[in-house]
Amino acid sequence: MNTQQKLLTFNLFLLTFVLGTSEFVIVGLLDEVSTSLGIALSKAGALVSAFALSFAIGTPVMTAICSRFSKYPLMLSLIGVFIAGNVFTALSESYALLLLSRMVTAVVTGVLIALAMTVAGSTIPAEKRGKVISIIFAGFTIASVVGVPLGTAIGQWGGWQMAFWFTSVLGVISLIASSATIPKGLKGSQSTLQKQIGLVTHSRIVIAFFIPALSIAATYTVYTYLTPLLQNVLAVPARYLSLVFMLYGVVSVFSTLLGGKIATANGMGRLRYVFLIQAAILASLYVTSHWIFAAFISISFIALVVYAMNSTIQLYFLDLADRHFPSAKELASSLAPVSVNVGIAMGSALGGFVTTSMELIDVSWVGAIPALGAALLTFISYRLDQRGMAKREAEQATCCV
């Protein structure tokens, strides 16, 4: 890659870091939000679900609408809206306003992620595309390592609103960097509504969509309520929470690296077994919660597998779009993060159900159930790929004869 492409890659990494910090920092501040607004912990947790659902519903719709516009002014405008959304979150003094500002921020976040993937795919050499996509995804991982623990510490020190003033400042930095590195000549694409609908309703896309959704739902059944788990089950003092989240994020960096290796060859074939391992790890927390050291090992392994699918799934969506709906690739690039946020909504809702009707620690074995579903769908998708490949090879052999 040349210097301009390297700078663009770094900026897109920075953008996803900022977006990830804004999205996930509230997980570490649920107790503060609950106390400040005088609401139940499960209602505070619903903010995570609302963000994810808004992301999931709004992103494909807005991506389809915005795909016709030039990328440079569009991305800068959306980053400006993102900054405004974080400012309104910081100024929120009621649950309703907080909920609304998070929903608006969620939709903008989703479209920006899709645009980042599209810009990378349009400007980066094909042989470097997989590596660059993994770097862009790594922005979310680094957000867990640095942004979320730092934002959590800031929120615990100066109030949860201060954490969103912090993400607003990060947004301004990203806006400046984007204005200098995003190519100005990238035009919009003219894909028909019929093709957009055809993509999202295609059976292979639907199956692929729910693979990351179920895997992330498995993790977020536990992760959404990790703070009360640490405090109420493992008796970790509040002053150490940001450190635990940082350690979780550090381990998840290796998850991103693992995901890059999985994607290099037969990624879908390998993911079949990764999700089975994920289910076993989540269920293990139910047993290890009686010993804090063992519980931290289980939590570390949860972090290790959480992003292992990212690069494979993103490339898989693009590959399916290439085969069936090449003019709808921009929408296809949004499906992986949309699926992830559907999973976040599912997982946080499932965790909320468990915390209100069962014991808190039961989120561990309940979370293992969606992971088994992800494994099953991956087996199905992989088998369909193998059959399709065999059919194409047979047709080619017949033509040659």
Domain boundaries, the chain: 3-400
Task: Supply the pLDDT for residue 301.
Answer: 93
User: What letter represents residue 327's amino acid?
Assistant: S
How far does Cα 264 stand from its chain's mean position?
21
Task: Supply the pLDDT for residue 63.
Answer: 79
Return the structure tokens found at 52.
Answer: 């994810």
From residue 14, alpha-carbon distances to 4, 240, 340, 343 in Å are 15, 27, 20, 24
Looking at residue 233, the DSSP 8-state letter turns out to be I
Q: Largest Cα–Cα distance in the chain?
A: 75
- CA-CA-CA-CA torsion sign (222, 223, 228, 232): positive
Query: Running along the chain, 401 residues long, what does each successive block of 10 average in pLDDT?
Result: 82 91 84 84 82 82 78 91 94 90 92 84 71 78 77 85 92 92 74 66 87 93 88 84 80 79 78 93 92 90 88 81 71 78 86 89 93 94 82 67 57
First vs last C-alpha separation in the chain = 43
Residues 350 and 366: beta-carbon distance below 8 Å: yes
Task: Supply the pLDDT for residue 327.
Answer: 64
Residues 90 and 161: beta-carbon distance below 8 Å: yes
User: What letter represents residue 370's amino acid?
Assistant: P
Task: Supply the pLDDT for residue 104.
Answer: 93
- CA-CA-CA-CA torsion sign (322, 131, 1, 18): positive
Tell the residue number behind the tokens 């065999």, with chain if given. Answer: 390
Nearest to 380 by CA among 207, 130, 247: 207
Task: Supply the pLDDT for residue 276.
Answer: 95
- Overall pTM > 0.95: no
Assigned CATH for 3-400: 1.20.1250.20
Please, what is the Cα angle at 68 between 106 and 172, to 5 degrees?
Answer: 40
